[in-house]
Amino acid sequence: MKLSTKGRYGLRAMIDIGMFSTEEKVSIKSIAERQHISENYLEQLIALLKKAKLVTSSRGARGGYSLSRASDKISLGEILRALEGDLNPVDCVTNNKDNVCEDSDSCATKFVWKKISDSINEVVNNITLKDLVDEQFEIDHLTQEAHIG
Amino acid sequence: MKLSTKGRYGLRAMIDIGMFSTEEKVSIKSIAERQHISENYLEQLIALLKKAKLVTSSRGARGGYSLSRASDKISLGEILRALEGDLNPVDCVTNNKDNVCEDSDSCATKFVWKKISDSINEVVNNITLKDLVDEQFEIDHLTQEAHIG
DNA sequence: GTTATATCCTAGTAAATGAGTTGGAATTAA
DNA sequence: TTAATTCCAACTCATTTACTAGGATATAAC
């Protein structure tokens, strides 16, 4: 019941892009340095974000990534689902033919998994990337002040 | 972000014990048969439930397991935590020294993981085993009727 | 038009985890 | 005494995780 590094690193990458892509494209190298994540691995995570059309890229020198939409139009749910797949604790909640136990319609636990799933999605669908970018700017600002003071 | 079979099978085992331990002790063998779970594997899951003092056992012939408390005094949260460990999506939410990334105090994502964690625990702490046992009796009853009618 | 800086793409790999299996010791009701 | 049961530890096999490695392709700047 844990998120993998895909979700954790990938979200940090998205916040990073949200913070720094206003002026120019953000390169994988610069994200990797700021976030202390392996460049090659980050590349794969950002590929997932690109596939989900959450970021756009430009190749070649001075290329890099930027958000495909304004940060307040990107939900945390979209980001996490792009990185981790659906956020259901158990597959029988979605009606994919495979991975479903044979008795799923006659099993009381199904209702439980649905409730958990709903509550997770309720949370993540109502937080935007902008919320997180703003929060991170705020934290960095306070940390900066603490260093000065 | 998926529950393992520990959580899924283990919960089904708890519901099963809740349904059938009113009269006599419930053996692993009988649970395994009803729930279609490997006996040997189930043994290990029930060991976790016993360690968490959610079930009591008696050994020897006609031995087996029963609930350690009334089913309405056992929450789903206790059961899942016994089987799966804490239900936080990311370890930095709890302040264990290990597994915590170095910047966890200055990371906007921490608030997100906390919110998800809180919402999951809100759900599971407010469902009791009795709710699930009743639900399962109801489902079985309806299924039975469908077969008759 | 060359070069440095990027993204893009595929394959490999070592360690951990998941989901069991195997085999036997200890206990107890009948 | 025996059959049924819990208890316990070790082993196994497949999958997933978290990377690493290496090269192809594109492009801005000189």
CATH code: domain of residue B42: 1.10.10.10
Report how many helices (DSSP H) and strands (DSSP E) chain A contains, helices first: 6, 2
Q: Which long-range contacts (CB under 8 A, 24 or more apart) does B138-141 make?
A: B139/A106, B139/A107, B139/A108, B140/A106
Any strand C atom closer than 7 Å to A46 CB: yes
Q: Which domain holds residue A10?
A: 5-148
Shortest alpha-carbon distance between residue A59 and chain B (Å): 29
Any strand C atom closer than 7 Å to A1 CB: no
- Chain centroid to CA B47: 12
Q: Cβ B112–A1 below 8 Å, yes or no?
A: no
| Pairwise CA distance, residues B17 & B28, whole Å | 10
In chain A, positions 88-117 with C-beta closer than 7 Å to nucleic chain C are none
Give strand letter and number of the nucleotide nearest B58 (CA to C1'). Answer: D6
Alpha-carbon dihedral angle through residues B45, B48, B53, B58, given to the nearest 10 degrees: 50
The count of CB pairs under 8 A between chains A and B is 103
**Residue B119, beta-bridge partner list:** none
Tell me the pLDDT tens digit for each residue of A72-114: 999 999 999 999 999 999 998 776 544 556 666 678 999 999 9
φ, ψ of residue A27 in degrees (nearest 5): -85, 155
For chain A, how many structural domains are there in total? 1
What is the predicted pLDDT for the residue at A147?
A: 73
Shortest alpha-carbon distance between residue A63 and chain B (Å): 27
Tell me the pLDDT tens digit for each residue of A24-45: 899 999 999 999 999 999 999 9
Shortest alpha-carbon distance between residue B61 and chain A (Å): 30
User: Which residues in chain B land under pLDDT 70?
Assistant: 95-105, 149
**Residue B142, beta-bridge partner list:** none
